[in-house]
Amino acid sequence: MGAPLSIAFFASSLVSAYWNGAATYYRGMVRALAGLGHRIVFYEPDAYERQSHRDMEDPDWATVVVYPATESGVMRSLEAAKGSDLVIKASGVGVFDELLEREVLRLKGEGTQVVFWDVDAPATLERIAEDSDDPFRALIPQYDLVLTYGGGDPIVRRYKSFGARSCIPIYNALDPDTHFPVHSEPRLEADLSFLGNRLPDRERRVDEFFLAVAKRLPERRFLLAGSGWDDKERSGNVKYLGHVGTADHNAFNCSPMAILNVSRDGMARNGFSPATRVFEAAGAGACMITDQWEGVEQFFEPEREIYVAASGDEVAEILDRLTPALAAAVGSRALTRVRAQHTYAHRARQFQEIFSAGKPYTGGMP
């Protein structure tokens, strides 16, 4: 390992998962990097009521700076980040993204690299492909490196087509200290459960892979959780929970016979984009059924560690033959796999390889 890095990280939030789907990813990566000796200052705006819905205190493994969601608040934070070894601008901060994407590049200098970390690369790339005047498009070649939350070779090729010097995926993973098996809770028991906020590019797939299956199997119990589904039409065997806080995720994953993963459309099209909740569920020893996407076998072995369904009909067929004993065996194998190969400690070592002096990195998982 080279010398520990001082890292300034500009992103949505570390301390709040409220309307912040990347929270688990940030927490896992930052904590694991701190465990390797790196020093992280995490800059996040006071926006979208996230601070009033915090689900963790400031950690001892990072310095959290909450700045006012104003232009002057952004500029003061950028000034404070000067001199860091590495400055990271994540996608989807939510306020003043264009300003941050432009101004972080002014921090480049001898001893300071500036990186763009895209936690929703399909959406970013679709946006700039549709708008040749998008200001971020011209900035891509100026970043020292683009990291992505997933996407594999399709995303790497597209970023390079826009002039990225290099693009490397660092996939989601498991933090075994926060996601692990617990006892089931009766209120969360079901045959199939799904957790995810209602989003336009996910809803169609939830309709097909979850709600239509529930209607087809009236004798089965289904549990829907996440924000925004209140007025969604659903059959009587679907119980709706609303928002489920991170403290309840382990129980949510451990209580039903199976957990459903439904990808957003862009991530499914690009493949190689496992959602954070896939690793959370595996870390809890849950039996997962996922919609089909290219690259799933890179993370889990289908039929042994995860079930893959190409349609709602296939989800129903899997449920028809699934027993509690079989589900427990699949979940146990997924837990073994994720702990052995897909923790944030593994991803942090990959990150370290990327930035170790004199050791050019060509990508891939360690």
Confidence (pLDDT) at 201:
86
Whether residue 180 lies inside any domain: the answer is no
50 and 156 assigned to the same domain:
yes
Residue carrying the six token digits 């004993």: 325
Whether residue 48 lies inside any domain: the answer is yes
pLDDT in tens, 276-287: 899 999 999 999
- The parent domain of residue 162 ranges over 6-173+344-355
Residue 21 confidence class, pLDDT cut points 50, 70, 90: confident
Region 237-252: mean pLDDT is 94
Confidence (pLDDT) at 273:
84
Residue 336 has pLDDT above 50, yes or no: yes
Strand, helix or coil for residue 64: strand
Q: Which candidate, 240, 270, 266, 258, places its Cα nearest to that of 309?
A: 258
348 and 327 assigned to the same domain:
no
Residue 157 confidence class, pLDDT cut points 50, 70, 90: very high
Confidence (pLDDT) at 27:
96
320 and 351 assigned to the same domain:
no
d(CA 215, CA 232): 14
Residue 365 confidence class, pLDDT cut points 50, 70, 90: low
Please state, rounded to an integer, the average pLDDT across all residues of the chain: 94
pLDDT in tens, 282-303: 999 999 999 999 999 999 999 9
210 and 149 assigned to the same domain:
no
87 and 205 assigned to the same domain:
no
CATH number at residue 78: 3.40.50.2000
- Count of domains in the chain? 2
Residue 364 confidence class, pLDDT cut points 50, 70, 90: low
Region 120-126: mean pLDDT is 92
317 and 348 assigned to the same domain:
no
114 and 141 assigned to the same domain:
yes
Region 196-217: mean pLDDT is 95
Confidence (pLDDT) at 269:
80
Confidence (pLDDT) at 270:
78
Confidence (pLDDT) at 360:
39
DSSP readout, 128-187? HHH-TT-HHHHHGGGSSEEEESS-HHHHHHHHHHTT-S-EEE----B-TTTS------GG
Q: Take residue 183 and report the two structure tokens written for it.
A: 């006892």
d(CA 90, CA 85): 16
Residue 359 has pLDDT above 70, yes or no: no
Whether residue 164 lies inside any domain: the answer is yes
204 and 263 assigned to the same domain:
yes
157 and 199 assigned to the same domain:
no
227 and 79 assigned to the same domain:
no
Specify the DSSP element, H or E, that contains 289.
Answer: strand 288-291
